[in-house]
Structure 1
């Protein structure tokens, strides 16, 4: 299973992380994903030992649909409750959000 850029952006937007991207990255067409990729690159650098193929399969095992978005929201909420956060330039992200940005950076 492979998530494409559109699916990753949809997941990030559904989690509310889209608000962290510049307005240009939220518009249709050819978005500027540099801010999202910078967050993803930072997350990857801080978590170099992660198995990104396994994470991709874990986050959206059946693809990205309404059920997957709801599950991702639950995972992000659980991350915050458990203190599993990633801080990048003052932004506090759940581990799930950080992983989605990391997948975006690799896409």
Structure 2
């Protein structure tokens, strides 16, 4: 079973991976429990039924994917927790940003 810490570390790494395209599978994705990513991503998407992969990509990576996105995503996740914008899945409390990252990854898998 994938731990929350492993999953979140992988998500941060994915944010820095420009190769996160549909045709490419970065090594960090290989270490994730694909079924868990799909379940959590789907659960987040059910709460946001009109969201698309394009909308999520634009929201999460407005200046593109790469190392420059990491500090902004970390700050955004921290701000989510401060303002109570959390997503709970099976007892895990994730920031809305983390949930959105999982949703994007589930779209792209």
Q: TM-score, normalised by structure 1?
A: 0.69
Q: Any stretches of 5+ residues in structure 1 without a counterpart?
A: 1-8, 16-26
Residue 70 of structure 1, CA deviation? 0.8
State the match for 2:11 in structure 1. Answer: 12
Q: TM-score, normalised by structure 2?
A: 0.68
SS at match of 1:66: coil
Describe the shift of the 1:66–1:42 C-alpha distance in structure 2 as closer, same or farther (beyond 3 A). same
CA distance in 2, matches of 1:61, 1:80: 21
Q: Is the 8 A contact 1:86 1:98 kept in 2?
A: yes
- Runs (4+) of structure 1 exceeding 3 A deviation are 27-32
Runs (5+) with no aligned partner, structure 2: 1-7, 15-26
Structure showing greater relative contact order (alpha-carbon pairs closer than 8 Å, 6 or more residues apart):
1
In 2: Cα distance, 1:28 partner to 1:76 partner: 20
CA RMSD of aligned residues (A): 2.6
* 1:54 CA drift (Å): 2.1
Aligned to 2:46: 45
